[in-house]
Amino acid sequence: MDNVRTISRGIDLLEFLNRSGKATGAHIASQLGLSRPSTYRILETLTACGVVRYSEKDNKYALDWSAQTLASGLTERSRVLCVATPYLYELQKKVQWPTDLAIHENGVMVVKELTHPISPYSIESGIVGSRHPVLCGSLGRAYISFCPKGERDAILKNFFSRCTGGYEYFNSMQQIEWMIAKTRADGFGSRQQDVNAETSSIAVPIRFLGRVLACMDISWIASAMSFDEAVKKFHAPLDEARRAVERQLAAETMLN
């Protein structure tokens, strides 16, 4: 419990610095209702971790660049999930087949929202929070194909030596590069029964300001229709949902 309490206080402290910009240790302690020794111990730990920096000039602490970047990323993710979720459900109503919304975290795609429970055609229950190696499905293949090159190179660096999943579907980096080129040409990531023999899927990236914030997919029972037939039927509504999310993100940014 002490560890949990310390982590909770650390989060409170980071949130306070995010709001206030800069503050002395004494001021932070008084504002958060913490003892000064506890406050300085937490500040020392966060400084050692590189998320808080201390300035001897004014005796104040502030969020370091890495923490600011993290906060920005979390804000963008929360925002895109809020915007995209209603479109995900509208898309499911239109196509009837299940849809998913996922974000990328450290080489895996994390499902944040799904409509499998309400789809009459779903044969997979699906779990919010489930994690899938980036090359193991259409969501991850869409992400890695459309994210910035520097990010893509970092994800693929030492890929085969790490073997975090997905390597069984690609025997060489040349195959991965071919998949990326095809995905970019098609405009969507695809999975054709190579992970789950019963289903296939296609996915599109939700992009904003040069980054991929999330990916959205449609999956179907492979025996119900051919892959080409499914692409012809599903790609247009899936892509329209993507464009609608990106338009709303852009509109909200202009208003702010």
Q: Which structure tokens are listed for 32?
A: 């958060």
- Separation between Cα atoms, residue 34 and residue 17, nearest integer Å: 15
Residues linked to residue 61 through DSSP beta bridges, in sequence order: 23, 54
- Separation between Cα atoms, residue 31 and residue 239, nearest integer Å: 48
Say what the pLDDT of residue 11 is.
82
Say what the pLDDT of residue 126 is.
73
Low-confidence ranges of the chain (pLDDT < 70): 1-4, 65-75, 158-169, 254-256
Give tens-digit pLDDT for 59-81.
Answer: 999 887 556 555 555 567 778 88
Say what the pLDDT of residue 3 is.
59
- Judge contact between 216 and 206, C-beta under 8 A: yes
> Edge-to-edge strand order for the sheet containing 131-133?
131-133, 108-114, 99-105, 211-221, 199-208, 189-192
Say what the pLDDT of residue 55 is.
86
Say what the pLDDT of residue 4 is.
62
